[in-house]
A and B are shown apart, each in its own frame.
With several copies, the nearest count.
Chain A
Amino acid sequence: MKYTLENTIECLLLVSDEPLSLINIIKILDDNSISKKQIEKAIDNLNQEYKNKAIHISKVASGYRYQAKNGLEGYIAKLKDKGTNKFSKAFLETIAIIAYKQPVTRGDIEEIRGIAVNSNIIRTLIELEWIKVVGHKESPGKPELFGTTTKFLDYFNKNKLSDLPEISDVDSI
Chain B
Amino acid sequence: MMLIKLWDLILNNITAIYNGKTISDIPEDLFIPPEHLRVILEEFEGPLDLLLYLIKKQNIDITDLPILPITEQYMQYISIMEEMQFELAADYLVMASTLAEIKSKLLLPVESESEEEEDPRANLIKRLLEYQKYKNASEQIDDMSRNYRDFFVVSNAIDVKKSKIIEVPDIKIDQLKNAFADVLKRAEIFSTHNIIAETLSVRERMTSILSKLEGKENIEFIKLFNMEEGRLGVIVTFLALLELVKESLVDIIQNESMSKIYITIK
Contacts and interface: CB of A to CB of B under 8 A. Distances in A.
Q: Do chains A and B touch in the complex (CB under 8 A)?
A: yes
B89 to A, nearest CB: 6
Contact of B177 (A87, A89, A96, A137): A96
A24 B136 CA distance: 37
B162 to A, nearest CB: 7
Contacts of B175: 92
Nearest to B191: A88
Interface residues of A, number: 79
B206 A102 contact: yes
A162 to B, nearest CB: 4
Size range of the chain B interface in the assembly: 35 or more
A167 B207 contact: no
B182 A93 contact: yes
A73 B162 CA distance: 11
Given A67-B158, A96-B180, A160-B201, 15 more contacts: A15-B156, A15-B157, A65-B154, A76-B160, A90-B45, A96-B183, A97-B137, A100-B137, A113-B134, A114-B187, A116-B89, A120-B189, A155-B147, A168-B133, A173-B132
Interface of A: 11, 13-18, 55, 58, 60, 65-68, 70, 73, 76, 80, 82-93, 95-97, 99-103, 111-116, 118-121, 123-124, 127-128, 134-139, 145, 147-148, 154-158, 160-162, 164-173
26 contacts: A15-B156, A16-B157, A18-B155, A55-B158, A65-B158, A67-B159, A76-B160, A83-B190, A84-B192, A92-B175, A96-B134, A96-B180, A100-B197, A103-B207, A113-B134, A114-B48, A120-B185, A121-B189, A123-B162, A135-B249, A147-B206, A147-B211, A155-B146, A158-B173, A166-B200, A170-B195
